[in-house]
Structure 1
């Protein structure tokens, strides 16, 4: 398995720019173990209507940065149902970029050093970017309220810049794309499978 590598992504007009660290190939035997990227298409109404192709980093707080625009208020933010996840999009071209359940925080860093293309920090190249941090959510389990940490980041894979690794056809041909059943859940949990979408889902 390769090491983490930074990849660039953007909306169609280029106003929204980001970088994400990914490691290929994903672990297809244990896709939810937290030590692998996750590539999937979900059949829920939100993802279907948005045409969203999920690509999730291993460590959301460390592996994703938004480099443009200057403020997150410049992004469109669409929320459904529980409203905990923001589906962010470019207000100019309408392109869906990233889903976030968490909080934005602005930090200063040398993007090239963060991306691993150089070892030493260059203070002259330190800029302000946006990273994400987790939040806490409260759910009811067995009649009791339970509070736990939660952090979700998923970029829309179609907004990644094409490269040898970012070849969406190759992802499909290699069997790296999971299909997720979230439209009708049994016992409150999702189902995963390869090869074909669940009812209402898309290839």
Structure 2
């Protein structure tokens, strides 16, 4: 039986705070179109060097909010095609999430969003993510694609036993170093990857 719950996440010093809705357990599948939380480790050099443990909600637009600080106050490291921002706290340096898309400031009742009773204090300013058009090269031609990618760094989630996720085999490994890429697999990382 699956259970949808809101998890809090933060950097080490607490400057960066976010909330994410996750439905666990995830479907155990390597189908990228499946409507499920994706929990995985990638062996690309960026993810390896950052120690990034991907946890992607089902619907990034509805299932993630940044409560502090304003996104313009975050560090933003971009590699390769520069479409994804790997955001980090400028104070403690912890990488909290990656985003390919855009930020949207909004007012909402965070308690109500999290499935609790409405807050006595009402709404507060938060930032959500939304899709954005970007230029990509497909078969040597430039084209516009709509992009919305969000992955929180699972090690920045609070009150989560990541060992349990591993032992229950909820996570998989992807290979981004080989061409062509190998498909996702469970059990052990690809060459250059980490457990």
Distance in 1 of aligned mates of 2:23 and 2:57: 8
The Cα of 1:37 is off from its aligned counterpart by 0.3
1:31/1:38 contact within 8 Å kept: no
TM-score by structure 1 length? 0.90
Tell me by how many angstroms 1:137 deviates.
2.9
Change (3 A) 1:46 1:30: closer
- SS of equivalent residue, structure 1 residue 185: coil
In structure 2, the residue matched to 1:172 is 166
- Tell me how many residue pairs correspond in the alignment: 195
Higher deviation after alignment, 123-132 or 141-150: 141-150
- Whether the aligned pair in 1 keeps the contact of 2:10 and 2:156 (CA below 8 Å) is yes
SS in 2 for 1:4: strand
2-structure distance, mates of 1:84, 1:139:
9
Q: SS in structure 1 opposite 2:176?
A: strand
Secondary structure class of the residue paired with 2:104: strand
- Quote the residue 2:124 is aligned against: 127
Q: Distance in 1 between matches of 2:85 and 2:179?
A: 22
Distance in 2 between the 1:136 and 1:190 partners? 28
In 2, the alpha carbon distance for the partners of 1:159 and 1:36 equals 20
C-alpha distance in 2 between matches for 1:168 and 1:90: 22
Cα root mean square deviation, aligned: 1.6
Q: 1:150 offset after TM fit, Å? A: 1.4
Structure 1 unaligned spans of 5+: none
**Residue pair 1:105, 1:130 contacting (<8 A) in 2 also:** yes
Distance (Å, rounded) in 1 between the aligned partners of 2:95 and 2:17:
12
1:64 shift after superposition: 0.3
Question: Alignment partner of 1:149: what SS?
Answer: strand
Report matched runs for 1:47-126 at 5 Å. 47-69=47-69, 71-118=70-117, 121-122=118-119, 124-126=121-123
Deviation at 1:156, TM superposition (A): 0.3
User: Is 1:154 equivalent to 2:156 in the alignment?
Assistant: no
TM-aligned CA deviation for residue 5 of structure 1: 1.5
Q: What residue number does 1:184 align with?
A: 178
Where in structure 2 are there 5+ consecutive unaligned residues? none
User: Which residue in the other structure is 1:4 paired with?
Assistant: 4
Would the aligned equivalents of 1:76 and 1:91 in 2 still touch at CA under 8 Å? yes
Q: Would the aligned equivalents of 1:50 and 1:96 in 2 still touch at CA under 8 Å?
A: yes
TM-score between the two structures when normalised by the length of structure 2:
0.94
- Distance across 2 between alignment mates of 1:9 and 1:103: 20
